[in-house]
Amino acid sequence: MITARQIRAGRALLGWSQQQLADRAILSRNAVAKLERGEVDPRASTIEAVRRILEQHGVIFVPASGRIGEGVRAAAPAE
């Protein structure tokens, strides 16, 4: 499962506002803000919608491994 930090980082990587992510994932801006602050225990379907839209736009989620924390990176551009 992706984390609140990864959602914030993925959105920032794309240069999107919370409203832009909310519109694309069909959520309210308030719901995105709460997700990013970790203030809610979201439904799996909500996290999946956010994950899917960010991945469709080139965000790759990197899981934590050992002493290295989770993160995000940009997919290589298509040639």
For the stretch 38-51, pLDDT in tens is 988 888 999 999 99
The rounded Cα 44 to chain-centroid distance in angstroms is: 13
Give, in degrees to the nearest 5, the angle at Cα 37 between 70 and 39.
115
The pLDDT of 14-33, averaged and rounded, is: 97
Report helix angle 29-37 to 4-14, nearest 10. 120
Closest alpha carbon to 58 in 11, 17, 4, 19: 11
Per-residue pLDDT, 51? 97
Average pLDDT over residues 69-74: 94
Q: What is the average pLDDT score of the chain?
A: 93
pLDDT at res. 41? 85
Q: Which is nearest to 36 in space by CA: 7, 62, 60?
A: 7
Residues of the chain above pLDDT 90, percent: 84
